[in-house]
């Protein structure tokens, strides 16, 4: 229990202020109200009831903190922007903050999930990690972004699909716990690509037909012959460069790559389930985060074996589609056809 000298009704009144002169005070009051439970955040809405009494309504909302590693590799770094703060003017800081919010919005508003763990976990990120660091990653607790080398890669916060992808690893961590190697590892990567793409599409209000289905678009500099790290629509076509070589992702199970590298090809073979999801979304049309995304999210929620194969995951998606939409639904047919399109059989499904 927190016992403060300023009563909560007074803080709530200040938080309601809509006056430019007191904008900072209003933000500070909202943060103070949220501080009663630092492990959760809330969107506060204020209104007056019929007796002119202030009504404070609390709903799930993001609790974001962005830190600056200042080109060190020490985490978390110095806090530079917290929930409710104004933009800093540092592109990486502000892109990370906005990307965390966009990812939270998809899972909260579409799937009813309160943050990546489902229980309001704060969303933390560190930017300017290392010197010319060419990656972004989820370390089990926070997002970490490098600035890129400036020759091949630009800053990694510039891609919303990258931010959504990495945070989706956290969702998988708290649900399916897919082992990060072989087919289960490729499914882990694919799920992050799926929800990374959906974060961007939801944020931009793009239909499946309007979306690019690219993961990491804009990360390459102009020196690279390529559009993105991966293409869900057409795996194997994202880049073809003299320095980087050709995109190695297969689009069909017949071309599954057997390798000891990359934890058994988790970033390579993810192209197969990526393409399957795209085919499902294309077939169903409209907004991919609705029916296709809902089926994939339900599959996570229903549970998967840690070492699920592509075929087992395919069966699980058909089962999830049937549970939500009915055995003879268009959704079930679209999911079956999507997996058939990439050579993964689902005869054992419902």
Is 24 catalytic? The answer is: no
CA separation for the pair 288, 5 (Å, rounded): 49
Before 237, cis peptide (omega within 30)?
Answer: no
Is 166 a residue of the active site?
Answer: yes
Is the Cα dihedral 254, 255, 260, 261 positive or negative? negative
Residue 307: how many CB atoms within 10 A of its CB? 14
Q: Could you give the CA distance from residue 102 to residue 97 in angstroms, rounded to a whole number? A: 9
Q: Can you give the C-alpha Rg of the chain in angstroms? A: 22
- What does the buried/exposed string (b/e) look like for 208-226 if buried means 16 or more CB atoms within 10 Å of the residue's CB? beebbbbbbbebbeeebeb
The Cα–Cα gap between 193 and 199 comes to 10
Give the active site residue among 83, 166, 200, 331.
166
What number of helices (H) and strands (E) belong to the chain?
10, 11
Catalytic residue among 128, 165, 169, 267: 267
The alpha helices in 106-261, defined as continuous H runs, are: 160-174, 182-204
Active-site residues, by number, are 166, 267
């Amino acid at each position: 229990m927190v016992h403060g000298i300023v009563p909560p009704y007074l803080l709530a009144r200040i938080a309601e202020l809509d006056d430019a002169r007191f904008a900072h005070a209003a933000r500070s009051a909202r943060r103070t109200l949220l501080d009663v439970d630092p492990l959760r955040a809330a969107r506060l809405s204020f209104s007056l009831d019929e007796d002119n009494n202030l009504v404070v309504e609390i709903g799930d909302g993001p609790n974001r903190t962005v830190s600056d590693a200042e080109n060190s590799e020490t985490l978390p770094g110095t806090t530079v922007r917290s929930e409710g703060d104004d933009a800093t003017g540092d592109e990486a800081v502000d892109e990370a903050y906005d990307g965390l919010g966009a990812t939270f919005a998809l899972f909260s508003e579409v799937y009813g999930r309160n943050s990546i763990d489902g229980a309001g976990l704060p969303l933390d990120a560190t930017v300017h990690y290392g010197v010319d660091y060419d990656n972004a990653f989820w370390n089990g607790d926070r997002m970490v972004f490098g600035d890129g080398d400036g020759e091949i890669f630009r800053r990694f916060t510039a891609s919303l699909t990258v931010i959504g992808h990495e945070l989706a690893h956290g969702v998988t961590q708290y649900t399916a716990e897919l082992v990060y190697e072989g087919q289960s590892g490729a499914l882990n990567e694919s799920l992050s690509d799926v929800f990374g793409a959906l974060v961007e599409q939801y944020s931009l209000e793009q239909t499946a037909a309007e979306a690019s289905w690219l993961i990491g678009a804009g990360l390459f500099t102009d020196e690279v012959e390529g559009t993105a790290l991966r293409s869900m629509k057409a795996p194997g076509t994202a880049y073809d460069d003299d320095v980087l070589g050709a995109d190695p992702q297969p689009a069909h199970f017949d071309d599954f790559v057997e390798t000891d590298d990359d934890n058994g090809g988790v970033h390579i073979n993810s192209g197969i389930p990526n393409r399957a999801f795209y085919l499902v979304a294309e077939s169903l049309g409209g907004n991919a985060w609705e029916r296709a995304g809902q089926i994939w999210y339900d599959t996570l929620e229903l549970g998967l074996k840690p070492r699920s194969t592509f075929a087992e995951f395919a069966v699980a998606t058909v089962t999830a589609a049937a549970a939500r939409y009915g055995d003879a639904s268009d959704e079930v047919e679209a999911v079956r056809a999507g997996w058939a399109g990439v050579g993964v059989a689902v005869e054992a499904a419902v």
